[in-house]
Amino acid sequence: MLVRVHGAARDRALRGLELLFLAGLRAVASDVATALRAAELRSAYYHRSACTVSIADCLLLAHAGPDDRVATADPHVASVARGKGIGLVPLPDSRGRLP
């Protein structure tokens, strides 16, 4: 999104990701159980206008463990996280609003 929507240089965006990984962001692989949890979340929460969580959003949430937090500017992802008791780091959207 930084590159496509905001026109940031690709190298700058990659450096930002590198800093996130250095700060503790982790990449994880999905297994069948996590994929099934994601499908259950999508089935339970998705609504085409009221809660437009994507399957990728649900996969993020499905990976969150009891001590994890998810960072998002998306109000629908934040709403599902709160509803499931998942820790949240609210990020400002492009207008500075927090979810």
Q: What are phi and psi of 23, to 5 degrees?
A: -85, -5
Q: Which two tokens stand for residue 10?
A: 């690709």
Q: What are phi and psi of 14, to 5 degrees?
A: -65, -35
Which pTM value belongs to this model? 0.79
Would you state the pLDDT for residue 5? 74
Examine the pLDDT at 1 and tell me if it is beyond 70: no
Instruction: Quick: pLDDT tens for 15-27.
Output: 988 998 999 888 8
Q: Would you list the domain boundaries of the chain?
A: 1-28, 31-90
